[in-house]
Chains A and B, each alone.
Chain A
Amino acid sequence: DTGVSQDPRHKITKRGQNVTFRCDPISEHNRLYWYRQTLGQGPEFLTYFQNEAQLEKSRLLSDRFSAERPKGSFSTLEIQRTEQGDSAMYLCASERGAGNTIYFGEGSWLTVV
Chain B
Amino acid sequence: QKEVEQDPGPLSVPEGAIVSLNCTYSNSAFQYFMWYRQYSRKGPELLMYTYSSGNKEDGRFTAQVDKSSKYISLFIRDSQPSDSATYLCAMSGVLTGGGNKLTFGTGTQLKVEL
A is bound by B: no
